[in-house]
Structure formats: structure tokens, C-alpha cells
């Protein structure tokens, strides 16, 4: 048989050490950085699209050949930025996932506590009624 007070202790211990407020603060910071990275990415893709259009407009093969190296560097830079962006987002997700994976589900404990509260209220009412009957 599993001791209910032990269940409560485990849930309480976990959530005390989880530091929910600290996690929220970190997630807020990461969320702002993700939004900032998204804006940078949009600007960078526009710059890359413009460079690609310029490359296509360049007439001769010789001019295109000269522009190909810088254009390829722009594409590689974009790939590197997207890779860093993906790693950052994945790291944030995995960090939160690992923190929550071992979390005990507080629903059953909270349901039991709510049920116990109702029982206590009923017992208090019964005690008051019995005290009143004894006084009469």
C-alpha cells in the first residue's frame, strides 16, 4: 500500500526544487530571443533573395562567375544561422522536456486534497451539530 502522505511529500519536494518561477523567467528570455531570431531570419532571407535576383540579372557568364562565390557565401551564412537558430530552439525545448519528464503528476494529489477538504467540512459540520445537541 502506498502512503498518501508519501505521495504528497514526493510531489511537494519535486515542485519545490523545480523552480517554476525560474523556469518561467528563462522561458520568457528564450521566447524573446526566439522572436528576435525570427525577425533577423526574415531580414536575412530578404537580403539573400535580393542577392539571388541580382545574380540572375547579371548578364554574361563571366559576371555570374564572379558573383557566384559571394552568393554561395551568403547561402552558407544563412544555413549556419538557421542551424544555430534550430539548435537554440531545440535546446530550450529539450531542457524543459527533461525537467518535466520526471515530474510527478499533481492531479491525483490535488483531487485527493479537494476530496479531503470536503470530508473535513462535513466532519466539522457534524461536530458542531453534535456539540449543539449535547448543549441542549
Question: 61-101 and 20-57 are packed helices; what angle lies between their axes, rounded to 10 degrees?
Answer: 170
Per-residue model confidence (pLDDT) at position 103: 86
DSSP calls for 56-109: HH--SHHHHHHHHHHHHHHHHHHHHHHHHHHHHHHHHHHHHHHHHHTPPPSHHH
Q: How many residues does the chain have?
A: 136
Beta-carbon contacts of 106 under 8 Å, excluding residues fewer than 6 positions away, are 11, 15
Per-residue model confidence (pLDDT) at position 83: 96
In which element (H, E) is residue 107 found? helix 107-135
Burial string for 54-74 (b: 16+ CB within 10 Å, else e) reads ebeeeeeeeeeeebeeebeeb
Per-residue model confidence (pLDDT) at position 93: 93
Q: How far, in Å, CA of 136 to CA of 132, rounded?
A: 7
DSSP at 106: S
Mean pLDDT in consecutive groups of 10 residues from the start of the chain, 136 residues: 76 88 92 94 95 89 89 96 95 91 83 84 92 90
User: How many whole angstroms from its chain centre is CA 133?
Assistant: 57
Amino acid at each position: 500500500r502506498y502512503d498518501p502522505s508519501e505521495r504528497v511529500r514526493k510531489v511537494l519536494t519535486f515542485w519545490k526544487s523545480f523552480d517554476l518561477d525560474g523556469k518561467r523567467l528563462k522561458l520568457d528570455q528564450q521566447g524573446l530571443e526566439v522572436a528576435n531570431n525570427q525577425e533577423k531570419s526574415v531580414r536575412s532571407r530578404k537580403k539573400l533573395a535580393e542577392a539571388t535576383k541580382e545574380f540572375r540579372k547579371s548578364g554574361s557568364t563571366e559576371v555570374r562567375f564572379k558573383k557566384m562565390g559571394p552568393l554561395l557565401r551568403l547561402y552558407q551564412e544563412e544555413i549556419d544561422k538557421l542551424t544555430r537558430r534550430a539548435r537554440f530552439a531545440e535546446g530550450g525545448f529539450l531542457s524543459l522536456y527533461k525537467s518535466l519528464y520526471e515530474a510527478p503528476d499533481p492531479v491525483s494529489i490535488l483531487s485527493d486534497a479537494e476530496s479531503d477538504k470536503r470530508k473535513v467540512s462535513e466532519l466539522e459540520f457534524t461536530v458542531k451539530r453534535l456539540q449543539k445537541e449535547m448543549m441542549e
